[in-house]
Structure 1
Amino acid sequence: MTPVYRAALGGDFEKLHPNIQWRYGVDSTSGIAQVTSGIVESVYCTSKLTPPVLRMFRRRNVMPTTTSRLVPFFMDNYCYRDERGRENLAVIRRFAYSTGEQRLHSLLVNGSGGLVDYFGDGPDMLIPLNPRVGEGGSLVLESEPMQMLSRGMKLGMRGLFSTSMRYVEEWDDEEQRFRLDATVRNVTLGEIMHFRGWFTAADQPCTIHDIPDEAWPLRLEDRE
């Protein structure tokens, strides 16, 4: 199988920084998972979302809901093929707040129309992604408007509800570690969420039996 980012970027994958290529050069046949640890220097969640929405997002692992600084951060990547034969990259992000851990679960899939990212345990959101190579060989992800998912329905978030994501991952030569910068914005509310920080990464052996349950969504989602 072809790694999800290599399939999405084509020949441009080779323009990524070598360490970014290493990060995303594995697939479901590699027998490798990648574990990372670091610090989120700033994590922010808007106060403009209602408490019921925040509780749902936190319970379903859609996004962290607590604003803080210097939060220990862990991000684990697992590759597998789903029941439809699609290459998947599951990303489990953990924010170790002093008040308790919060998570952001996402699943990147090589869909029929390109790269899509499913957020939350349901999954609860569908995010079509446009990846490209940025300055210094960084990986830049810019999304089209997000869509809410519920059983049997896909609800587009457009107009006043239009919400998009931008994610940048790069290699810091001076500090010899990775940096990330993620922002979610709504046209009405402005910045909904961001987290920015650094991490180091390592490969570890991983078979299909070693993949944790939370890497699998509660339902197989074939809407792209």
Structure 2
Amino acid sequence: MTSIYQLAMGKAFDQLHPCIQARFGFSSQDRLASIGQGVMDRIWYAKWAAAPLMLGTTRHIMFPQGGRGIPFHIANFAYRDSYGRETVTWLRTFKFPRKIRKFDATMIYSGARDRIVDYLGNKQHLAVDLDLSVADNGGLRIRSTDQRFYEGRLGFAFPKLFTGEADVCEWYDDEDACYRISVRVRNPLLGLVFAYDGRFQTHFVEMDQGRIPLEAKPLREEWRE
């Protein structure tokens, strides 16, 4: 089975750096998990955005905290969710000196939308369409587009002026033999909201579907894409 990222990118996936292909090329049938550790060289947030970012901490989205040299852990699990969709988790943990912050997501490939849909947080309330492309350095560039909110029967699209548009690049640094990540989240009107840059190492571990940790899955699953 091809990964959700291969489905979304088609032949362009083969242009990615081999190490990036490995990180994004596994599916639930491979029974693997990618576990990484490293350091965020810099984490930054806009002070004016502290209140909405603090609200995001309750659902493991973003957070109003910054710093340098912050230890970082990332775990990616591939599994089939309760709706039968191929799913990849993104569990990010940032270990600040006096607080541990989390930024979680689950991604699926939507055939109807012909793209990756990223459910942010641990309750899949916020669904974000992603555009994937190959960066000049062989990394994977991810840019967010349309965003939707789901709660019970309620569902609506966010006006662009009220969204945070993410621009992410993950690549492999051959010289330093590590993965690097750069994230920028901007509001179309107010500018930069949240950002971080870092580096990490990863390794694969065998992972049967039945052994995926409970905390690797969202607290609720949303069927709407």
TM-score range, shorter chain: over 0.9
The one-letter amino acid paired with 1:219 is R
User: Which range moved further: 143-152 or 21-30?
Assistant: 143-152
Matches within 5 A, 1:34-113: 34-49=34-49, 51=51, 53-112=52-111, 113=113
CA shift digits 1:163-214 (9 cap, x unpaired): 3111100111110101000111111221111111100110011112321222
Aligned Cα root-mean-square deviation (Å): 1.4
Correspondence for 1:204: 205
1:50 positional shift: 5.2
CA distance in 2, matches of 1:10, 1:54: 35
CA distance in 1, matches of 2:36, 2:149: 29
Correspondence for 2:216: 215
The one-letter amino acid paired with 1:29 is Q
CA distance in 2, matches of 1:191, 1:49: 10
8 Å CA contact 1:181–1:195 kept in 2: the answer is yes
8 Å CA contact 2:54–2:63 kept in 1: the answer is no
Correspondence for 2:118: 117
Correspondence for 1:17: 17
8 Å CA contact 1:146–1:164 kept in 2: the answer is no
CA shift digits 1:51-101 (9 cap, x unpaired): 3x3332112101132111110001100000112221100010000111121
TM-score under structure 2 length normalisation: 0.94
| Alignment length (residue pairs) | 223
CA distance in 2, matches of 1:144, 1:54: 19
The DSSP-based 3-state class of the residue aligned with 2:30 is coil
8 Å CA contact 2:49–2:64 kept in 1: the answer is no
**Cα 1:111/1:159, change in 2 over 3 Å:** closer
**What is the aligned-residue identity percentage?**
29
Q: Gaps spanning 5+ residues in structure 1: where? A: none
Correspondence for 1:33: 33
8 Å CA contact 1:62–1:124 kept in 2: the answer is no
Q: Write out the 4+ residue segments of structure 1 that deviate beyond 3 Å after TM superposition.
A: none
8 Å CA contact 2:125–2:222 kept in 1: the answer is no
User: Which range moved further: 111-120 or 150-159?
Assistant: 150-159
CA distance in 2, matches of 1:193, 1:122: 21
Matches within 5 A, 1:152-191: 152-191=153-192
CA distance in 1, matches of 2:82, 2:173: 38
Q: Gaps spanning 5+ residues in structure 2: where? A: none
TM-score under structure 1 length normalisation: 0.94
